[in-house]
Amino acid sequence: MWKLDQEEQMLYVIFTDDNGGILRADYWGGPYIALTFGHHHPDSTEVINVWDYEKGEPTVEFNVDAVRKRVLDWIEEHATEDPRWYEKYLENT
């Protein structure tokens, strides 16, 4: 699921898993993709830094496909380090 809010220039992507886990990724086109885990958190609990400090611009295009890919890459990186990282994260939120 995704949405692009033209007035606020913000988009979000929602990821779900087979166990009912939810991850929401909000992006305003700046240095961070804000992540919110679970159903009960109104505020982001994690961010992905997507800023290229040398160029002074984001490394992610402002579109749903680019944000989705970057979040999935981030999830894969964490899963490589610890396959249960997402479950553990949800347990602690």
Domain ranges (residues) in the chain: 2-91
Express each pLDDT in 34-56 by its tens digit. Answer: 998 876 666 777 899 999 999 99
Higher pLDDT, 82 or 90: 82
Residues 34 and 25 sit within 8 Å (Cβ to Cβ): yes
Express each pLDDT in 58-76 by its tens digit. Answer: 999 999 999 999 999 998 8
> Tokens at residue 33, please?
């993709």
Read off φ and ψ for residue 16, nearest 5 degrees.
-130, 155
N- to C-terminal Cα distance for the chain?
Answer: 22
